[in-house]
Structure 1
Amino acid sequence: MADIETKDPGAEARHRSDIYGLLATIYRQEITSDLLGQIKDPQFLGALSVLEVEGIDGLMQKPAAELLEDLAVEYTRLFLGPGKHISPHESVHHQREDGQWGMLWGASTVEAKKFIEATGLSYTDDYKGMPDHISVEFEFMQQLTLREEQAWKAADAARAGACRQVEKKFIEEHLIRWVPAFCEMVIQEAELPFYQAVAILTRSFIEFEMKEMNRNGDGVSS
């Protein structure tokens, strides 16, 4: 395609991989001091500020210890419970025609697990969570886009295109089916502007990814 020839597709794949990786880390656990440093990177903080979520700038200016405690409380309330919370798992939010959704370890969980394992990737021995946790699915996309970057660096357009096809399929069959709805719930329920902003950013990124995949096909020029 003509427009891809003016870009560096390897650098673009790496940029996408970095975004998936950072989002995976944010949703995986409470914010750590190391992660807070990444979040306060001018590029990422600038992306959050552009979203114009009220209060985000003031929140991020709090002393680090206070901010980390506030974010830990918010993460637990939003995603862990023990009370009412927003499950960060695909099978809870992916509305399937067969009705097998709205619960943990639903049909989407099994399908996500099979999809990931079919690519040759596997879970670390110490991972005790579910295969369709949002952080796992984003980490999977991080690894796919890294493979794509490596293919472009090796000047292997066919392999890069194959990577793009797998990415597109996973977005179509999984991410776009539930992440926007999950993000909307986070936007509505979050009390701190940080998680509102992250949810808006996440939803926009996944929707953009889907549009770009549809527009570019496999992303490889002939």
Structure 2
Amino acid sequence: MENEIEQAANSMQANGESELADLSRDRAAVYGLLARLFREEADAETLEKLATLPQSDDSDAMSEGMRLIGSYGKTSEDPEGDRLTELAVDFVRVFIGHGIDGHSAAYPYESVYASNKRLLMQQARKEVAAIYASCKVAAQPSWKEGEDHIASELEFMQILCLRGDGQQQNLAKQKEFLETHLLNWVPQMAADMKRFAKTDFYRGLACMLEGFLTLDKDFLDTACA
């Protein structure tokens, strides 16, 4: 976890003169960090490291998210106690809810947002599983929640980013997956996260996710032009 956060922090501070290979590694680090934060609750080490994320006065969603997450970590006077309990409760509130229907939480599955009845295990899961297979990406040990879980889709993008130096075909695959899958449902999930979250940590994570995906789309649009 320490390496993921340090790599992501370095990536966010990288200048615009990086070579394409460096940019691909930078992007992979951020995708990996986001996948980790959506996969499970934050622990004391995670919270402490996130407090070191670089801050800026920019008004974009990613900068706002980093400010919220960073400030939450910095104001955590007792990371071993109340704050970790608060985050664990908020994780359940935001992503699991009370389980009565598909509108009780920001369920982190594409199937929920892509199906009219907001159900799990729907066509979206089959589609992304087929895409992973077509890209020769085997199911990862961390994909315990399913192929269309947000953490799995983010980790898939991380894997593609780490393949070589950003060859045009690989970049085109990233662009297509980002546009036809992640950006097709994440904005709705992010809006639900902000609605259900009681902590700035998960409100910030929603902003950071949506903001980064928007920035990455801009990058891929330019790279694939």
Say whether residues 1:167 and 2:174 are aligned partners: yes
Query: Closer, same or farther in 2 for the Cα pair 1:143/1:45, shift >3 Å?
Result: farther
Give the corresponding residue for 2:107.
87
Say whether residues 1:106 and 2:122 are aligned partners: yes
1:4-153 alignment runs, 5 A limit = 7-43=18-54, 50-51=63-64, 57=71, 60-62=74-76, 63-65=78-80, 66-83=82-99, 84-94=104-114, 102-124=118-140, 127-147=143-163, 151-152=164-165
Relative to its length, the structure with more helix (as a share) is 1
More displaced, 40-49 or 69-78?
A: 40-49
Deviation (angstroms), 1:189: 1.7
Contact 1:39–1:45 (CA under 8 A) maintained in structure 2: no
Q: Based on CA coordinates, which of the two structures has the bigger radius of gyration?
A: 1
Query: Structure 1 CA distance, aligned partners of 2:62 and 2:214?
Result: 19
Query: Closer, same or farther in 2 for the Cα pair 1:143/1:54, shift >3 Å?
Result: closer
Deviation (angstroms), 1:125: 5.5
Deviation (angstroms), 1:81: 2.9
One-letter amino acid of the structure 2 residue matched with residue 91 of structure 1: S
Q: In the TM superposition, what whole-angstrom CA distance separates every residue of 1:150-194 from its partner, at most 9, and x where no partner exists?
A: x22xxxxxx622211111111111011001111111112211111
Aligned length: 201
Say whether residues 1:215 and 2:222 are aligned partners: yes
Contact 2:143–2:152 (CA under 8 A) maintained in structure 1: no
Q: In the TM superposition, what whole-angstrom CA distance separates every residue of 1:101-137 from its partner, at most 9, and x where no partner exists?
A: 6211111111011111221112245753211000000
Query: Structure 2 CA distance, aligned partners of 1:37 and 1:105?
Result: 35
Uncovered stretches (5+) of structure 2, i.e. residues with no partner: 1-15
Contact 2:36–2:151 (CA under 8 A) maintained in structure 1: yes
Contact 2:35–2:154 (CA under 8 A) maintained in structure 1: yes
| Percent identity (aligned) | 24
**Backbone CA RMSD of aligned residues:** 2.8
Q: In the TM superposition, what whole-angstrom CA distance separates every residue of 1:31-55 from its partner, at most 9, and x where no partner exists?
A: 1233223322232799999418779
One-letter amino acid of the structure 2 residue matched with residue 57 of structure 1: S
Query: Structure 2 CA distance, aligned partners of 1:38 and 1:163?
Result: 32
Query: Closer, same or farther in 2 for the Cα pair 1:203/1:189, shift >3 Å?
Result: same
Contact 2:68–2:203 (CA under 8 A) maintained in structure 1: no
Contact 2:110–2:125 (CA under 8 A) maintained in structure 1: yes
Give the corresponding residue for 2:8.
none
